[in-house]
Structure 1
Amino acid sequence: MKDFDHMPGHLARRFQQIAVAVFHAEANALGFDLTPVQFAALSAIDSYPGIDQAGLAGVIAYDRTTITGVVDRLVQKGLATRQASVSDRRVRELRVTALGAKTLKEIEPAVRSAQTLMLRGLDEDEAETLLGLLRKAVEAGNDLSRAPMRAAE
């Protein structure tokens, strides 16, 4: 097949490459050393204080075995904490630190700018249509993923 540039898988991979590059450029321009996955994880921890790593993996649709490394880096950077649960010592609860909350607030302009840059070339209606179709396709294929998105408990 020669028409790979018309295949959704190829286009999705290319868009992901662009999205990651744009996110890094915008975050780095403001002095932040944060990957898109680290940002998503930190945002989710902020939204669900006390979430555990398995829950976090589900909320951001990330592989449970590799979420540990993401959390490790957030903890090393002082952006999040990992503490044993008082109700179940086997569970590690995650929380955003003061520095993590400050980072989320200060990185927001870079994240907004990145979203705009990712969709450049599209007018407002086209951007909304693309996002709606992406959401629809992702929801329909969620169960096919190795890391399906799950609601927080």
Structure 2
Amino acid sequence: MTLEIHGMIGHLIRRLNQISVSIFQDRLKAEGYELTQVQYGAMTVLESYPGIDQATLAGLIAYDRATMGTVLERLVERGWVDRRVNSQDRRARQLYLTESGRQLLHAVSPVVREIQDLIVDGLTPEEQQDFIRLAEKLATAGNERSRAPLIT
């Protein structure tokens, strides 16, 4: 049965997100890792920008600041991220990947790259490129409408 909602872009984007999350979690779990997409994103940013604060990290992955705190708590609890007092501002905390966090990130990154192909494997290579191009265009155009805009 096809309902009108099944052709609505908002529904399709939500559905694709569900599928993406499922593929990511199932594939990583099969490899013996327990890590979410947001945690992975946060860790990749911290590898590139060690010492940033929580608000900057949230902006770089377009995630709301309040929920970012919960994500970071899990990463800190697992020993993958370290929070340090900023020497310039004792109230602020700087974030760093720990050595075990860096090892995990490097171990899962090849699997995450494979997952990207699984997410779009229903498309031809040309369609995949078109989809990515159009998705980037929509994300850029709608960025300022988001409750958690991406900072660049």
Which whole-Å CA distance do the structure 2 matches of 1:26 and 1:45 have between them? 23
Which whole-Å CA distance do the structure 1 matches of 2:126 and 2:86 have between them? 46
User: Which residue is 1:120 aligned to?
Assistant: 121
Partner SS for 2:62: coil
Q: Which runs of 4+ in 1 moved over 2 A?
A: none
Q: Cα offset for 1:91?
A: 1.3
* Mapping 1:24-35, distance limit 5 Å: 24-35=25-36
Partner SS for 2:66: coil
1:83 is aligned to 2:84: yes
Root mean square deviation, CA, Å: 0.9
- Higher mean displacement: 66-75 or 105-114: 105-114
Percent identity of equivalent pairs: 43
1:16 is aligned to 2:17: yes
User: Which residue is 1:5 aligned to?
Assistant: 6
User: Which residue is 1:71 aligned to?
Assistant: 72
Partner SS for 1:65: helix
Return the TM-score normalized by structure 1: 0.95
Q: Cα offset for 1:110?
A: 1.7
Q: How many residues align?
A: 150
User: Which residue is 2:47 aligned to?
Assistant: 46
Partner SS for 1:66: helix
Which whole-Å CA distance do the structure 1 matches of 2:88 and 2:34 have between them? 34
Letter of the 2:83 counterpart: R
Letter of the 2:5 counterpart: F
Per-residue Cα deviation, 1:42-70 (whole angstroms, up to 9, x for no partner): 11111110010000010000011110000
Letter of the 1:108 counterpart: S
Return the TM-score normalized by structure 2: 0.96
Partner SS for 2:82: strand
1:130 is aligned to 2:131: yes
Which whole-Å CA distance do the structure 1 matches of 2:117 and 2:27 have between them? 11
Q: Is there any run of 5+ residues in structure 1 with no aligned partner, and where?
A: none
Q: Cα offset for 1:109?
A: 2.3
Higher relative contact order (CA 8 A, sep 6+): 1
Which whole-Å CA distance do the structure 2 matches of 1:49 and 1:147 have between them? 21
Which whole-Å CA distance do the structure 2 matches of 1:108 and 1:49 have between them? 18
Q: Cα offset for 1:146?
A: 0.6
